[in-house]
Amino acid sequence: MGSIVSYKGGYVVVSSPFTAAFVGNDTKDPKHAILVAFAGQLPVLVRGVVHKGDLIVANGDGTGSAVSRDLVSLAMAKNAVGTAWASSNDEGLKRVNVAVGIGLGGNGARDIASIKAENAQLKADSEKLKQENAAIKSKVQKTEQENAAIKARLDKIEKALNSK
């Protein structure tokens, strides 16, 4: 009870046989069904110190870890289960009441990831355009210098022709 699991859609959910809101992996044989809860207040297996309000992030082994919201990375947010409703200084494994489905996980994190990826691409494109612009400016400057030199030569030739 309280193990963190994930499914094909990428959401992190909590297995809780006694308080599940929805049945996941439903089969014709109920003995093989796995009960999971997608939302609500549930006891979740958490490793390490937890502070009320921390984001609970899946570890990938059926447990979660508490992360202060100030320190949450995008990768962590994608694996968020919910928000801790209790605190514990116990560094071991314990059950902590968590508001499952309430936090930075789910579509919001994926949307942020998509926006960050797009932003990174736009920054790369912008940098490439800056380099191309600098190269064009350099060529224009060189062309202007060559034109000035040609004009100076033409002026000399005109003076020489006019002085005869």
pLDDT 10s digits, 36-81 = 766 778 889 999 999 999 999 989 888 999 999 888 887 788 788 8
Average of per-residue pLDDT values in the chain = 83
Question: Do the domain assignments include residue 55?
Answer: yes
Question: Do the domain assignments include residue 131?
Answer: no
Question: Do the domain assignments include residue 21?
Answer: yes
Confidence of residue 15 (pLDDT cuts 50, 70, 90): low
Please state the rounded mean pLDDT for residues 125-132: 97
Which position has the token pair 């599940």?
20
Residue 50, C-beta contacts closer than 8 angstroms, at least 6 positions apart: 56, 66, 84, 86, 87, 88, 96
Question: Do the domain assignments include residue 63?
Answer: yes
Least confident window among 24-28, 71-75, 145-149: 24-28
How confident is the model at residue 107, as a pLDDT? 54
Question: Do the domain assignments include residue 112?
Answer: no
Whether pTM exceeds 0.85? no
Question: Do the domain assignments include residue 96?
Answer: yes
Question: Do the domain assignments include residue 120?
Answer: no
Q: What percent of the chain has pLDDT over 90?
A: 45
How confident is the model at residue 71, as a pLDDT? 87
How many structural domains compose the chain?
1
Question: Do the domain assignments include residue 98?
Answer: yes
Domain containing residue 70: 3-105
Give me the torsion for CA of 117, 122, 127, 130, rounded to 10°: 180
